[in-house]
Amino acid sequence: MREALGAVRAEVGRAVVGQDAAVTGLVIALLCRGHVLLEGVPGVAKTLMVRSLSAALSLDTKRVQFTPDLMPGDVTGSLVYDARTAEFSFREGPVFTNLMLADEINRTPPKSQAALLEAMEERQVSVDGTPRPLPEPFVVVATQNPVEYEGTYPLPEAQLDRFLLKLTLPLPERHEEIEVLARHAAGFDPRHLDRAGVRAVAGKDVLDRARAEVARVQVAPEVLGYVVDLVRGTRQSPSLSLGVSPRGATALLATARAWAWLSGRGFVTPDDVKALAHPTLRHRVQLRAEAELEGVTAESVLDTVLASVPVPR
């Protein structure tokens, strides 16, 4: 199973250059049945990454461009009147898929953002009082632009907390950007992944068995205590008005177990927890206004907490 998911990451690398950490984060999210918030400037292959991952895993994927006029029914689906039968039938929305790409999620009003809350938490949508289960696996990968906030609606804390990971996509290094240009010069077309050689190397059965193996990864009581001490440390930080919730603690435990399994171990170490602390917790904390004015960031606060909490031996 581990080798198969390693092959998945290699297949995504055929289309995406220089975003190995983000690709690994998406694999961890699939193993943990969690959702991902991707943040990066336009043109760093956020959409291409999701499409490549779905192709490598043979998963169904749909993309929704979130705009100010998007309605909740455009995401979840709605009842449609059939004149031939004189009855209403349910027409599924794009949320009925395995990998849903919610592009620029912060450009739609809160009413439409909230349409995803039940889907993300309960793996179902309710239309006209009838709950309808979503396919398995189901993962929302939402994107947002970190530099252009005009006309956007910031995600509320309740929705941010439902994302397992927040992954930031940096601009590529010089040699990586040269590789991108070289691929395009050689005829690479991001609209045709099959021509780039991206093929299905795993499927839903591999994910199911891998998840079962991750669930058997052992966690010592000392490591559990370490996770709790980290999240409690954020609640006591003078720079934060909101620390990490208990859901954040369970998320950090889940991602650390998945990373330990991907690393070839059957137990979690404090280093596994440290490795996933930033992507799992950075979006679950809220800075005080005075701290922001002083240039404090969520990343620096997490660094301080990680440095101050004793590591179990």
**Distance, CA of 91 to CA of 125 (rounded, Å):** 12
- Topology of domain 217-308 in CATH is Helicase, Ruva Protein; domain 3 (1.10.8)
Q: Return residue ranges of the chain for CATH 1.10.8.80.
A: 217-308
Which is it for the CA torsion 60, 172, 9, 278, positive or negative?
A: negative
Give the tokens for residue 251.
């998320």
Cα 137 to chain centroid distance, Å, stands at 13
On the question of pLDDT at 306 being above 90, the answer is yes
| 234 closest CA partner among 257, 252, 259, 220 | 252
| 77 closest CA partner among 58, 63, 52, 96 | 96
pLDDT digits (tens, 9 = 90+) for 234-270: 999 999 888 999 999 999 999 999 999 999 999 999 9
Burial of 201-225, coded b for 16+ CB within 10 Å and e otherwise, reads bbeeebbeebbeebeebebeeebee
pTM: 0.89
- Topology of domain 1-207 in CATH is Rossmann fold (3.40.50)
Q: Return residue ranges of the chain for CATH 3.40.50.300.
A: 1-207
On the question of pLDDT at 151 being above 70, the answer is no
Mean per-residue pLDDT over the chain, rounded = 89
pLDDT digits (tens, 9 = 90+) for 221-241: 999 999 999 999 999 999 988
